[in-house]
Amino acid sequence: MSHRITRWTLAAVAGAAALTLAACGSEQESSSAESAPSASAPVGAGPSGSAPVVAGPRPASPTRSVSDTVAASREVCGTTPGPDGALRVIILEGSTSCTDAKALAEAYGPKIATGAPQTVDGWDCEPSSQAGFLSTCTKDGATVGFAP
């Protein structure tokens, strides 16, 4: 008798799983069933006929930030942990090495979140007035920026 109960239980579970899977269709199947085909193009076909067309607002085009534009023309010396994630270490002005910029980033990184001006290893660091940068540090005519 226990073999029958086990078999019936397994059969019921398998049947429920099959019904669940049968109820799930692809997005393309459900959208074609819900909307009537248009005269100009088949439902689900994009302008090239290969990609599905999805109604709704067009996503914004990716834009480059100010710091991305500046970084493209400057030396980027890696990243350092910032208060809300990694910050790029960028030499903005003057002559300093990436080795020095990385050492500064390591020492100043934990202090950036205070938002207060700091002197770190001879560098004067403070929240940045330059758009796109969280903070900048200056020393002897050199400037290092920290950008998200």
Count the neighbouring beta carbons within 10 Å of the beta carbon of residue 3: 7
CA 121, chain centre distance (Å): 33
Judged against a pLDDT cut of 50, whether residue 137 lies above it is answered with yes
Instruction: Specify if 37 maps to a domain.
Output: no
Instruction: Specify if 79 maps to a domain.
Output: yes
Contacts of 105 (CB under 8 A, 6+ apart): 77, 78, 80, 87, 89, 144, 146
Average model confidence (pLDDT) across the chain: 73
E-only strand ranges, 83-134: 85-93, 118-120, 123-127
Burial of 83 by CB count in 10 Å (0-12 exposed, 13-18 middle, 19+ buried)?
middle
Instruction: Specify if 33 maps to a domain.
Output: no
Instruction: Specify if 138 maps to a domain.
Output: yes
Q: Angle CA(141)–CA(143)–CA(146) in degrees, nearest 5? A: 170
Q: Which residue has the higher pLDDT, 117 or 71?
A: 117
Judged against a pLDDT cut of 60, whether residue 11 lies above it is answered with no
> Which range, of 42-46, 50-54, 103-107, averages the lowest pLDDT?
42-46
Q: What is the pLDDT of residue 88?
A: 93
Instruction: Specify if 36 maps to a domain.
Output: no
Question: In terms of C-beta distances under 8 Å and separation of at least 24 residues, what long-range contacts does 67-73 make, across chains too?
Answer: 67/132, 67/133, 67/145, 67/147, 67/148, 68/132, 69/132, 70/130, 70/132, 70/133, 70/145, 70/147, 71/147
Judged against a pLDDT cut of 50, whether residue 41 lies above it is answered with no
Q: What is the pLDDT of residue 35?
A: 47
Instruction: Specify if 82 maps to a domain.
Output: yes
Q: What's the structural domain count of the chain? A: 1
Instruction: Specify if 90 maps to a domain.
Output: yes
Instruction: Specify if 34 maps to a domain.
Output: no
Structural domain boundaries enclosing 137: 66-147
Q: How confident is the model at residue 7 (pLDDT cuts 50, 70, 90)?
A: low
Q: What is the pLDDT of residue 27?
A: 47
